[in-house]
Chains A and B, each alone.
Chain A
Amino acid sequence: MSELLRTPFPERAGAALKDAFLQQALTIATTKFIDMRRAAFEGFPQGDALRDRARGIKEATLQRLDHYLGQLADNVERLGGHVHWAGGAEEAREIVLRLCRDRGVKMAVKSKSMATEEIDLNEALEAAGVTPIETDLGEYIIQLAHEKPSHIIAPAIHKTKGQVAELFSRALDGNFAADPEVLTAVARKVLRQKFLQADMGITGANFAVADTGTLVLVTNEGNGRMVTSLPRIHVAVMGMEKVIPSMTDLMVFLAILARSATGQKLSSYTTLVRGPRRLGELEGPEELHLILMDNGRVRQVAGPLREALYCLRCGACLNVCPVYRQIGGHAYGYTYPGPIGILLTAMLKGDRSVKELAHASSLCGACKDVCPVRIDIPRMLVELREGLDRGRIAPWSERMVFRAARRGMQSPALFRLGARLGRVLQRPFLRAGRLRRLPFFFGKWTATRDLPPVAARTFSERWRELEKP
């Protein structure tokens, strides 16, 4: 990923725009997700009120965050689990690695977890001689391809079935048809063995109920259940902001999460983990470890990105974002793509990391519209822009134009002067009443679009005749 980041964002975006299959895949996938989400909420009149409630629960949780985290930890421990506190990514990785060392873990099966992607856990495990196996089909595919996820809930939508067939055939020494049914069956068979043999299961958590010490996993494939029931150790890596107060609150989120993500009323499996296996229980892990992670989140409790802590990781904002729909997830260059991804990246890696990405938005507001917890993403993007070192990003011609525009907006005399100047300067470029090719910074517009000329007489200049009715 770091090589990717050395290319400026506009170039990465440009490359994505030229990728014909990616364009087609993005259109199909995002359109499907949008339609499914819309249908789910159309048949669900309580949806809007539940979204308001969900937002309120998230805010209320932050207002007593220390209490709920403490309560969660107490209850997890009461149920026989272990709680670890990780300040940053390295610490979180180290906790997992230490557990692997101490418990003789050779192979770990993973259920889809953006939190573990965020901390690059797989690389650390491999370096330590532990084999991590991604079991979510999309994650398994990109693991074989040595890529990062390109969407928060559908990691491999940028891959064709042909590419997947090729990947599987090479990795598994077979010859598989480019048929999703066939490929799914292959994954089922191969990964089934891994589930049964693995020493450790690693997951994230969609929610953690403070009142009961319950971890909640929302999945569709069954791998979330496998990795938390078959191996002898279960490790859950969770951003600390996923804690919620009660079971009653949990139902509010369950009612809107799957609908927002995939249009389902509920995902195929909602798994409530209540500690390790109990006395008298045949199956389940002997040990449960919950790693509560900060990694830039705690600072936002009082920070400008506080609202981003409400995020449920549903991916709805990606699907409606006109920018994401054109460039896909990889072009963003970080673990979390799309509108919320820009905010999360700033949260995790600091404001400077989104110097370019903060402007990767037309501020259309579609994201805020579909967010189940009504996060005002556009507002926070604008605030990020305010905080960033604006002066050094843009080329001098662009900065000159913006500086002139700023002055013009504050002085009517300068504004009028600007209009007259524009009329004069544009004359050599007028073609049949349009501006088709302009130099410098304006060329960025005219490369693909015509521009109307500054009017021969502005409205203000015409007002004198218009004044009398």
Chain B
Amino acid sequence: MTTRAEFLGRVRAEMAKTDGLFPAAPSPRPGNPREAAETVRRQLAERWPQALDRFRVEFERVAGVFHRVPSLVELPALLARVAAEKGAREVVGWEARAMGWNLSAALTPYGLTVHPAPAGDGDEDRRRHREDAARAPLGVTGVDWALAETGTLILASGPGRPRSTSLLPDTHVAVFGPAHLVESLEQVGLLLEALHADGGEAIRGGMINFITGPSRTADIELTLTRGVHGPKEVHAVFVDALDGPA
């Protein structure tokens, strides 16, 4: 079997034979990513209404369903309505600490069965939650970022925020607030640079998903269909008075 040294040795041998095709450099990177990210966050804090407008346009362009409520007080009724429209009696969701509000407390009064992400990560928890997520027609999450340029929801996985919540149910609802809005892909790059500057420990999960609309394919005669493997529908609920990440 080829070792790392052998492989890289071969690469180096080839590199030595050429100067390359033209002078080139990778993208310039922020000298102090955390500071740059802070600056961007401060600017975004002022410009969020415009970013929200743009987000809505782009999100709807990719067939997302957009909602807006003033505060967490109005949120449960909205979610219950969406669940009713989808005929969903069972819901899976992120843990309260991951979202900043409690899904069980919000929806149980409406007679819905809520399975929040379990606190532990044992085999039994995992097995049971997988069954719940595979069965529930509705999954509710928060977001890390809402990217206005493309109408994209960006979700990192981690304790209390399973990957399946936004993947297995037919309908995914993401709840976010002003502090989550980001304007451009370029800014996302900067924020990711900052988060990884310390070795990436700030993100406690093994996956980050950029979600731009529902699951789709055009593999059969280039006819567009939705909900191949992932959700058939994605909803985004903007809560004006939702506190964002610290």
Q: Report chain A residues within 8 Å CB of B193.
A: 246-248
On chain A, the residues within 8 Å of B157 by CB distance are 229, 281, 283-284
Encode B203-219 as 1/0 by CB contact (under 8 A) with A: 11111111111111111
Given contacts A268-B212, A277-B206, contact A73 B217 (CB under 8 A): no
Give the chain A neighbours of B85 by CB distance below 8 A: none
Interface status of B100 (Cβ within 8 A of chain A): no
Of the 9-residue stretches A57-65, A351-359, A392-400, A425-433, which lies at the interface with chain B?
Answer: A57-65
Return A150 CB to nearest CB of chain B, in Å: 11
A255 touches B229 (CB 8 A): no
> How far, in angstroms, from A84 to B7 measured CA to CA in the complex?
10
8 Å CB contacts to A: which residues of B169-199?
Answer: 185-186, 188-190, 192-193, 196, 199
B228 touches A95 (CB 8 A): no
Query: Which residues from 203 to 240 on chain A have a C-beta closer than 8 Å to any C-beta of chain B?
Result: 211-212, 220-223, 225-226, 228-230, 240
In this complex, how many residues of chain B approach chain A with their Cβ under 8 Å: the count is 83
Known contacts A274-B208, A280-B158, A283-B164: does B6 contact A85 (CB below 8 Å)?
Answer: yes
- Check A87–B221 contact: CB distance below 8 A: no
Q: Does A86 contact B (CB under 8 A)?
A: yes
Report yes or no: B219 in contact with A281, Cβ–Cβ below 8 A.
no
**Which of A188, A245, A274 contacts B228, CB < 8 Å?**
A188
Q: Residue B15 contacts which of A254, A255, A279, A301 (CB distance < 8 angstroms)?
A: A301
Q: Is B32 an interface residue (CB 8 A)?
A: no
- In this assembly, does A157 line the interface, its C-beta being within 8 Å of a C-beta of chain B? yes
- Residue in B10, B118, B196, B209 whose beta carbon sits within 8 Å of that of A271 in the complex: B209
Q: Which residues of B contact A159 (CB under 8 A)?
A: 220-221
State whether the Cβ of B246 lies closer than 8 Å to any Cβ in chain A. Answer: no
* Complex Cα–Cα for A25 and B185 (A): 35
**Given the complex, which residues of A lie within 8 Å of B16, measured CB to CB?**
302
A280 is contacted by which of B27, B204, B213, B221 (Cβ under 8 Å)?
A: B204
Query: Is the CB–CB distance between A246 and B29 below 8 Å?
Result: yes
- Least Cβ–Cβ distance between B228 and chain A, in angstroms: 4
CB neighbours (8 Å) of A247 from chain B are 189, 192-193, 196
Interface-facing stretch out of B41-49, B76-84, B125-133: B125-133
A91 pairs with B207, CB closer than 8 A: no
The chain B residue with its CB closest to the CB of A245 is: B26
Known: A91-B2, A274-B207. A268 touches B159 (CB 8 A): no
A419 contacts chain B at the CB level, 8 A cutoff? no
- By the criterion CB–CB under 8 Å, are A85 and B205 in contact? no
Picked from B29, B186, B209, B220, the residue with its CB within 8 Å of the CB of A225 is B209
**In chain A, residues 242-263, which have Cβ atoms closer than 8 Å to a Cβ of chain B?**
244-252, 254-255, 262
B130 near A160 with CB under 8 A, answer no
Chain B residues lying within 8 Å of A280, measured Cβ to Cβ, are 121, 158-159, 204
Considering the chains assembled together, what is the distance between the CA atoms of A188 and B228 in angstroms?
Answer: 5
20 contacts between A and B (CB under 8 A): A32-B222, A59-B21, A62-B15, A66-B8, A83-B4, A84-B1, A85-B6, A184-B225, A191-B229, A220-B217, A222-B215, A222-B229, A225-B167, A267-B212, A270-B210, A274-B203, A278-B206, A294-B10, A301-B15, A302-B15
Could you tell me if B228 and A251 are in contact, using CB atoms closer than 8 angstroms?
A: no
Q: Is A438 at the interface (CB under 8 A from chain B)?
A: no
Question: Which of A62, A66, A225 touches B230 (beta carbons < 8 Å)?
Answer: A225
Residues 65 to 100 of chain A near chain B (Cβ within 8 Å): 65-66, 69-70, 73, 78-79, 83-87, 91, 94-95
Q: Are A248 and B27 in contact (CB under 8 A)?
A: yes
Bits for B66-108, please: 1 = Cβ < 8 Å to A, else 0: 0000000000000000000000000000000000000000000
Q: Mark B117-154, 1 if CB is under 8 A from A, else 0.
A: 11001000110011000100000000000000111100
Which residue on chain B has the smallest CB distance to residue A157? B222
In contact, A220 and B216 (Cβ under 8 angstroms): yes
On chain A, the residues within 8 Å of B22 by CB distance are 59
Whether B206 pairs with A266 at a CB distance below 8 angstroms is no
- Residue of B163, B204, B208 near A229 (CB, 8 A) is B163
Please tell me if the beta carbons of B209 and A281 are within 8 angstroms of each other in the complex: no
In the bound complex, CA of A159 to CA of B24 (Å): 43
B27 with A246: CB separation less than 8 A: yes
Selecting from A134-142, A408-416, A439-447, the interface stretch reads: A134-142
Beyond known contacts A248-B30, A283-B164, A294-B2: 7 more, CB 8 A cutoff = A53-B27, A66-B8, A87-B2, A212-B192, A245-B26, A246-B29, A306-B18
Q: Are B228 and A221 in contact (CB under 8 A)?
A: yes
- The answer to the question of A363 belonging to the interface, with a C-beta cut-off of 8 Å to chain B, is no
Q: Evaluate contact between B219 and A154: CB separation under 8 angstroms.
A: yes
Determine whether the beta carbon of A187 is less than 8 Å from that of B228.
Answer: yes
Interface residue tally on A, bucketed by range? 35 or more
- B20 touches A (CB below 8 Å): yes
Cβ of A372 within 8 Å of any chain B Cβ, yes or no, is: no
Choice from A157, A212, A268 contacting B213 with Cβ under 8 Å: A268
Q: How far is the CB of B202 from chain A (nearest CB, A)?
A: 12
What residues of chain A lie closer than 8 Å to B26, measured between beta carbons? 56-57, 60-61, 244-246, 249
Whether B216 contacts A221 by the Cβ 8 Å rule is yes
A83 nearest CB neighbor, chain B only:
B4
Any B CB within 8 A of the CB of A272:
yes
Q: A211-B196, A274-B200 are in contact. Are A222 and B228 (CB under 8 A)?
A: yes
Contacts A183-B220, A184-B225 given: A268-B209 contact, CB under 8 Å?
no
Is A268 touching B150 in the complex (CB atoms < 8 A)?
no
Q: Contact between A249 and B27 (Cβ–Cβ < 8 Å)? A: yes
* Contact yes or no, B21 A251, CB < 8 A: no
State the 5 A-B residue pairs at the shortest beta-carbon distance, nearest first.
Answer: A222-B230, A222-B229, A138-B219, A251-B189, A302-B17
Nearest chain A CB to B195 CB, angstrom units: 9
Quick one: CB contact mask for A168-206 with B, threshold 8 Å, 1 for yes? 000000000000110111011001100110000000000
Contact of B217 among A79, A137, A275, A299 (CB under 8 A): A137
Report how far A87 CA is from B164 CA in the complex, Å. Answer: 36
Query: Are A221 and B229 CB-contacts (below 8 A) given A281-B159, A283-B130, A283-B163?
Result: yes
Q: Indicate if B245 sits at the interface (CB-CB under 8 A).
A: no
- B162-A154 in contact (CB<8A): no
For A60, list chain B residues within 8 Å (CB): 24-26
Does A349 sit within 8 A of B, measured CB to CB?
no
Within 8 Å CB of A187, what residues of B? Answer: 228
Would you call A402 an interface residue if the criterion is a C-beta within 8 Å of the partner chain's C-beta atoms? Answer: no
A99 to chain B, nearest CB (A): 12
